[in-house]
Amino acid sequence: MKYRFLPQSNLKVSSLIYGCMNIGGPWSPNPPDRATVDNALACVRTAVEGGINVFDHADIYGGGRSEEVFSAVWSELGLKRSDVIIQSKCGIRRPGEPNAASPHRFDFSFDHIVSSVDGILRRLKTDRLDILLLHRPDPLADPDEVARAFDHLRSNRMVHYFGVSNHNAAQIALLQRAVGVPLVANQLEFNLLHSDLIDEGVTVNDARQRATYRADGTLDYCRLNGISVQAYSPVAKGRLALPKRDDDERIRSTRQAVEHLAHHMGVSGEAVLLAWILRHPAKILPVIGTTRPDRITASLDALKIEMTREEWYSLYLAGRGRDLP
């Protein structure tokens, strides 16, 4: 495993993050069964043995079950709190909460952020989060109110560092102006089939294509301001692994390009997809979310790959599905 210090922090993080969204099993108010816990145990053990030290959560994953399962697994593995970097997210409220008429919404109010972290810490059975991310932009967010929540959580040592998820450059800048601490991370969907973060830079001054992409300079903004980008769905939710009837030509050709390179390198397709992300100079951290230990092991091979510029562009063009300007 390779490690680096997260910019604007003292956290030494692994080059891969393990995403815990699905380790709690199906989203349900019922407690997880033993088989679910055992599978989570195997996954987390494999990740830890592979050198992964960052574990990503959110309060809505599994309706809270994923955090509860992780706390049980953490205890059974005998991990020390200092062995792991725990990150969670808040801000999404599901329909029917707190009453039946409540809609699906985003909530960055002081009360919701603070109460969410209380619940996260209780389920994880820890006294602090290393990183808290705001999950999806709330149109009604008041940056000063968010700043007050961050101050409360930090002064009470409940959260050490803060960041966002699915935010663009302007949204981050507006929030950063109000909060008194650096925003250290932005978690975004990024993979060969969802590459808007870099597509918009490639199509600058090309009127034929530029309007297609709307990442709003987010990747460059993060790089300029020391905000670490985390890539969720780095293997495109498995769409490049198993053929499906409704696959279009772009997906089929991208899968073939990945399979060809994987065969040439003697690694899995997952390793190639992750290596493509790791090759970017922004030092993006992929969040792998599989619940199969063997796929975690296969993913670790990404760190052994020295991808050439030509190989990177071959994959990029396949996933992009169109020529460069």
**Is 313 an active-site residue?**
no
Q: Which of 3, 18, 61, 161 is catalytic?
A: 61
Among 296, 120, 282, CA closest to 186:
282
**String of DSSP letters for 237-304:** GGTTTS--TT--HHHHHHHHHHHHHHHHHTS-HHHHHHHHHHTSTT--EEEE--S-HHHHHHHHGGGG
CA dihedral (159, 126, 59, 275) positive or negative: positive
Encoded tokens for 25: 């099993």
> From start to end of the chain, where are the E strands?
3-5, 12-14, 17-19, 54-56, 85-90, 92-93, 105-106, 129-134, 159-165, 183-189, 228-232, 285-288
Q: Which residues are catalytic?
A: 61
